[in-house]
Structure 1
Amino acid sequence: MTRIDDKFATLRAEGRKAFVAYIMAGDPDYDRSLEIMKGLPGAGVDVIELGMPFTDPMADGPTIQLAGQRALAGGQTLQKTLDMVTEFRKGDTETPIVLMGYYNPIYSRGVDTFLADATKAGIDGLIVVDLPPEEDDELCIPAARAGINFIRLATPTTDDKRLPKVLENTSGFVYYVSITGITGAAEAQADTVAPEVARIKSQTDLPVIVGFGIKSPDTAQAIAGVADGCVVGSAIVSEIASGKPVAQILDIVRGLAEGAHRA
């Protein structure tokens, strides 16, 4: 059982939906990013999704691309991202942390070294968007052996023939991408998401969390209402980019979390 498994078991027992918040590690700088990260659980965040900045983030829209550029320009590295998690864990040993990003930095570090370092830092899950199921031997299966969940994305184009392959070695939860396209694009619609979530849940016992296109507390409530929870990324990252004080950013996160928890 990972922290992710424990969190969803607790939420299920309480009859509550999950709120997952994404931030980019090191955006706009290490200290401010860490301060925001430390404040997320108190703002109602159940799972933290921490972006690993990368030079070619093909699944990300402009908001998150720019966040990655700011982080890289400020000197953020994979090591500094792991350092952030280590610092966070000094005050919080319960909140699950999922690293989201691309395979290149992990491959460059070496899979075995990365998994050992990630485990030591306190990482609970990975979302690596450019490793398809056909490449599970690269990272997915070694991660599972190391006790780290490997979370797979399903999309509106994942048909019934493809879905079992996507789910085969997935653990922790399934991340359903609510729209076709990049992050931060169109707004998610509960009426179109609901049948897709039901289709996925008919083939797995894992929680299904919906992300992409969730920008307001009302949308968070609507989407969480047809799934096991929701993820908000670009809407939070854009507030960080605006330069608002950390307390104000966390108030916005709190509103989004309350929306999801009303579902």
Structure 2
Amino acid sequence: MSVLERRLRDAREPLLIPYVMAGVVPDWLDLVRGAAEAGADAIEIGLPFSDPMLDGPTVQRAAALAAGRGGRPRPLLDELAELDLDVPLVVMTYANVAMTVTPDRGVSGFLDHLAAIGVRGVIVPDLPLEESAEYRARAAEVGVAAVLLAAPSCDDDRCREIARASSGFVYCMSSMRITGERADLATTARETARRVKGMTGLPVVTGFGISTVEHALEACADADGVVIGSVLMRMLVDGAPVADVVDEVAAFRRALSSVGG
């Protein structure tokens, strides 16, 4: 069992995983620290990329801000090494970015580097399951959980394969749309989480479009927890101070804690 999975399994309340784009603001590490102190069970760290396949306009704006400040994957990852948190970090990036971190060693070197700086999980959504065996094996060797995504479009057989191959937790997409804030929780969110939970003993976490506390509570009727991203990044790119974003994380934590595990 990975460190990430153990930490999430031990939680007694619905899981809360905030997303932070690395380098989005000069004090982005303070946001990571603040999110941990506010009760996050894990923190997802995005790396800026010019051609994301799943990120919506808000996360793209956050990535552009990070890149405009000179943020590059390897130095941003190395900044994480400064942190001493009791909350696991999960890096989310794309295959092309992973290949650039240690260009002479490819994805294997990327995973080794994540392990060296204390990252406990990784999400590479554009790496097909059929081509991921070597990646998953290396991740397991170095103690980094390879989290896979399950989409509403996946039939039961596909969901079962994804659940079997995933490590740490299974990330359920709430809908067949890119990330971003929504007025309502997609109707497919709970159904997808319910299906996947019947196929795995791993924690099942729903993301994509979890925009309000009410969405989080609704999603957790079936999922073990939620990822919140665009709502936090929108606050930052619109100029809110880190302290206000931390307060938003705390508000989600209080709401989820009120319903218990």
Q: What is the CA-CA distance between 1:164 and the residue it aligns to?
A: 2.5
Deviates more, 1:20-29 or 1:164-173: 164-173
User: Is structure 2 residue 241 aligned with structure 1 residue 245?
Assistant: yes
Shift of 1:138: 4.4
Paired residues of 1:44 and 1:254 also in contact (CA < 8 A): yes
Q: Is 2:48 the counterpart of 1:53?
A: yes
2:3 aligned residue: 3
Distance in 2 (CA, whole Å) between partners of 1:208 and 1:188 is 20
Q: Deviations over 1:89-142 (max 9, x none)?
A: 3xx2x2010000101121232223222211110110011010011111342221
Residue identity opposite 2:37 in structure 1:
G
* 8 Å Cα contact 1:52-1:100 kept in structure 2: yes
Q: Secondary structure at the match of 1:175?
A: strand
Aligned to 1:76, the other structure's residue is in SS state coil
Secondary structure of the residue that 1:139 maps to in structure 2? helix
Report the TM-score, using the length of structure 2 for normalisation.
Answer: 0.92
- 1:224 maps to which of 220, 224, 228: 220
- Contact map agreement 1:150 1:171 (CA 8 A) in 2: yes
Structure 1 residue 97 corresponds to structure 2 residue 94: no
For residue 99 of structure 2, the aligned residue among 85, 102, 107 is 107
2:182 paired with 1:186 = yes
State the shift of 1:170 in Å.
0.6
Q: Deviations over 1:197-226 (max 9, x none)?
A: 221111111110000111111221221232
How many angstroms does 1:73 deviate by? 1.2
SS in 2 for 1:152: strand
Q: Please tell me whether residue 169 in structure 1 is matched to residue 159 in structure 2.
A: no
Match of 2:255 in 1: 259
Could you tell me whether the CA contact under 8 Å between 1:141 and 1:169 is conserved in 2? no
CA distance in 2, matches of 1:137, 1:217: 37
Distance, in Å, in 1 between the alignment partners of 2:36 and 2:184 is 24
When structure 1 is superposed on structure 2, of 132-141 and 19-28 the one drifting more is: 132-141
Query: Structure 2: which amino acid aligns with 1:4?
Result: L
Following superposition, the deviation at residue 192 of structure 1 comes to 4.0
Distance in 2 between residues matched to 1:17 and 1:167, nearest whole Å: 19
Match of residue 157 from structure 1: 153
Q: Quick one: structure 1 residues 149 and 178, their matched pair in 2 at CA, closer, same or farther if it must change by over 3 Å? A: same
User: What is the deviation of 1:58?
Assistant: 1.3
Q: Percent identity among equivalent residues? A: 36
Please tell me whether the aligned partners of residues 188 and 212 of structure 1 are also in contact (alpha carbons under 8 angstroms). no
Query: Which deviates further from its counterpart, 221-230 or 118-127?
Result: 221-230
Contact 1:47 1:95 in 2 (8 A): yes
For structure 1, the 5+ residue unaligned runs are: none
Residue 23 (structure 2) aligns with = 26
What pairs with 1:43-82 in structure 2 (closer than 5 Å)? Answer: 43-82=38-77
Structure 1 residues 188 and 213, CA gap change in structure 2 (3 angstroms): farther
Question: What residue number does 2:195 align with?
Answer: 199
Contact 1:188 1:223 in 2 (8 A): no
- Divergent runs of 4+, >4 A: none
Deviation string 1:5-32 (CA, Å, 9 cap, x unpaired) is 2212321xx3x11000001000023xx1
Alignment: residue pair count: 255
Whether the aligned pair in 2 keeps the contact of 1:179 and 1:188 (CA below 8 Å) is no
- 1:76 offset after TM fit, Å? 1.0
How much does 1:243 deviate? 1.4
Residues in 2 aligned to 1:158 and 1:20: alpha-carbon distance in whole angstroms: 23
Give per-residue Cα distances to partners, 1:122-179, cap 9 Å, x unaligned.
1100110100111113422211121110001111101113222222321100000001
Q: Deviations over 1:230-262 (max 9, x none)?
A: 110000000111211221121111112222223
